[in-house]
A = this chain, B = another copy of it.
Amino acid sequence: MLTKRNISTVKLEKMSDILKSIAHPIRLEIIELLEEYGTLGVTEIQQKLTIEQSLLSHHLTKMKDKGILSSVREGKNLFYSISLTHIEGIFDCMGKCDID
């Protein structure tokens, strides 16, 4: 009996929406990369993850749609970065749980 949070239904839905959007190894890795580098081009991410171009694009687009990432075009290139600030905190949160 620690805390009384009383989180609203709407907020619980938004939370689960965000969690769903990042609950995937590739997406977590993208977030990890963007935390480290701040901003990365699609091609750079692709090289670091060695996954198919269209698959990466899907993951990026979905996270962008959910407001987790944002992108800026510079010429031919699109640069992605984290727009939902502090979402990287998920790594600390998970780290505190005794995973594995």
* Main SS at interface, chain A: helix
Name the contact of A89 in the complex, choosing from B12, B87, B96 (C-beta under 8 A). Answer: B96
Residues on B with C-beta less than 8 A from A2 are: 35-36, 88
29 interchain pairs, CB-CB under 8 A: A1-B37, A2-B35, A2-B36, A3-B35, A3-B36, A3-B88, A5-B32, A5-B35, A7-B28, A7-B29, A9-B25, A12-B32, A13-B25, A14-B100, A15-B25, A15-B28, A15-B94, A15-B99, A16-B22, A16-B23, A16-B27, A19-B94, A86-B96, A89-B96, A89-B97, A90-B90, A90-B93, A92-B93, A93-B93
By a beta-carbon cutoff of 8 Å, the part of chain A in contact with chain B is 1-5, 7, 9-16, 18-20, 22-25, 27-29, 32, 35-38, 84-94, 96-100
